[in-house]
Amino acid sequence: MHSSIASQQPQLQEAVPKAAPPRAGARSWLWLAVAAVLLLFANGANTISLAAWLAPLFLLRFVRTRGVWTGLVTAYLFLMATFMFQFRGMVPIPGIGYYIFLVSFGIPMVVPYIADRLLSPRLPGLPATLVFPTAFVLAEYLVSLGPYGTWGSAAYAQFGNLALLQLLSVTGLWGITFLVAWLASMGNWLWEEGWQSRPARAGATEYAAILLTIVLLGGVRLAVFPPHAQTVRVASISKRKVQPDASATAWQHLLANRATPAESEEVRAAANAIDSDLLARAEREAQAGAKIVFWGEGNAPVLKSDEPALLARGRELAAKYQIYLGMALATWNQGKNPPLENKLVLIKPDGQVAWEYFKAHPVPGGEAAISVAKDGKLHSLDTPYGRISSVICFDADFPQLLAQAGALGADVVLDPSNDWPAIDPWHTQMASFRAIEQGFNLIRHTSQGLAAAYDYQGHRLAAMDHYQALDQTLVAQVPTKGVRTVYSRLGDWFAWLCMLGLAALVATGIRHKPGRA
């Protein structure tokens, strides 16, 4: 079969510039309008997966058919505006800080369009189509290293397409991001050259073949290699409103680290009631046959002076029923700064503490300001139900942190979490990607959100909606064995490959004259 890659090599050697495409005039604004509508549903709260594939195609068409400044500035403004709609209520930054965040976050979103507009005219055919996807991956990868992790990744819009998502086990998010962005540049090549162009037609055919092969192989993995290990019953719990309760003022003063002695006693009584209810319900689940029981992030508030007594009760319960008990604590060190220990204490069936895991990535802003930081290292424990590890809520948005679970060979990961309506169920869906990437089975118990269990292929095993369930308890039968994936062994190899590829394209483009202004 004719290779379009091979057909481009003479053009590279001769450095023949492409002819400038005709300006689309008023039609370019039509492409922008189509892109704007699609972008509203290309990510975030109201995602339509197909919109995520088509929106960059039309926005790139607009940028390529306008002047550099007009096209790129307009694209930047539209990307920021549609991001505000996509993730409305999801970014917990108050006041002017939110708008500063939008302005800065819009920069990596527009970088791929800048790279394509300036560099692709200097490259022929197929190599030119690689600028946009490699720059897209580079931008997303660099953002993932920042304080908000992988929020905003185009790959998350493909949640539910399990055949495609098996690619996560090989490339992580970056392979899916690449495919989505490559469709945009490949589609624009065919749009500009026309179906009569043999190289463009061959390139489009090769892209379709690659995409279909990936989906087919993903389907084969799902059909032929499903999880087959024995399962363990896991129960997870959300705290509920019990009496006595402390006043809002007392809780606020505790949060601000300025509670009076009377307010501290008020909080102590309320915390004891909450913790007793959690332990009673954990005992109920142990009696029902659960071997692993835990509850949502920070669901058990406790003053530091009262923590030993609470842990003693947990150790007694774990030993009595021979269970693994995950006590997600919000421990308050009054008078210290920062005062909050947001952690998961795992108790073994012998009543001993296996580990204390502190949340590695407190949410930037208020939570990070009051949270005690530790080393960010994940722990693991070999059990009759597989090797167990844990993270806490926002931690699961950072693939590089969860890579530790893959390196540890974790089979089951506990993820106590706490969300709010605006990010429900989006945040839990994001976390499920880590299970496919690293090859572990995940139980994410989310207070004020969607609690769900997933196997290492992304199948949802059980779910509980905090806002619909009466008892707010999740029970799941979870496989006790995971797998080692390519991604868990090689990490972000594909992102680095894209970086090297983009560098090579830049070096090649610098030596060539642009074919269009």
Q: Does residue 17 surpass a pLDDT of 80?
A: no
Over residues 10-35, the mean pLDDT reads 64
DSSP collapsed to 3 states, 312-354: HHHHHHHHHHCCEEEEEEEEECCCCCCCEEEEEEEECCCCCEE
Residue 22 is inside which H or E element, if any?
none
pLDDT, tens digit, 9 for 90 and up, residues 178-192: 999 999 999 999 999
Residue 24's pLDDT is 57
Over residues 322-336, the mean pLDDT reads 95
Over residues 284-299, the mean pLDDT reads 98
What is the band of 516 on the pLDDT scale with cuts at 50, 70, 90? very low
- Which of 50-59, 81-90, 425-434, 455-464 is predicted least confidently? 81-90
CA angle 185–189–193, rounded 5-degree value:
170
Over residues 397-401, the mean pLDDT reads 97
Q: Does residue 295 surpass a pLDDT of 80?
A: yes
Would you state the structure tokens that stand for residue 278, as one six-digit string?
Answer: 């959690």
Q: Does residue 132 surpass a pLDDT of 70?
A: yes
pLDDT, tens digit, 9 for 90 and up, residues 54-69: 999 999 999 999 999 9
Residue 321's pLDDT is 98
Residue 255's pLDDT is 82
Q: Does residue 147 surpass a pLDDT of 50?
A: yes
Residue 94's pLDDT is 83
Residue 20's pLDDT is 45
Would you state the structure tokens that stand for residue 441, as one six-digit string?
Answer: 């089975």
Q: What are the strands of the beta sheet with 381-383, ordered from one edge?
A: 381-383, 386-390, 412-418, 441-447, 450-454, 460-465
Q: Does residue 8 surpass a pLDDT of 80?
A: no
Can you list the domains of the chain with their CATH numbers? 4-225+492-510 (no CATH), 231-481 (3.60.110.10)
Over residues 273-302, the mean pLDDT reads 98
Share of the chain above pLDDT 90, in %: 85
CB–CB of 388/412 below 8 Å?
yes
Residue 141's pLDDT is 98
Q: Measure the CA–CA gap between 170 and 26, rounded to whole angstroms.
A: 43
What is the band of 514 on the pLDDT scale with cuts at 50, 70, 90? low
pLDDT, tens digit, 9 for 90 and up, residues 205-229: 999 999 999 999 999 999 999 999 9
What is the band of 138 on the pLDDT scale with cuts at 50, 70, 90? very high
Would you state the structure tokens that stand for residue 189, as one six-digit string?
Answer: 């090549």
Would you state the structure tokens that stand for residue 398, as one six-digit string?
Answer: 């950072």
- Rounded to 5 degrees, φ, ψ at 93 are -120, 120
- Rounded to 5 degrees, φ, ψ at 461 are -90, -30
CB–CB of 446/466 below 8 Å?
yes
Over residues 268-286, the mean pLDDT reads 97
Q: Measure the CA–CA gap between 493 and 487, rounded to whole angstroms.
A: 8
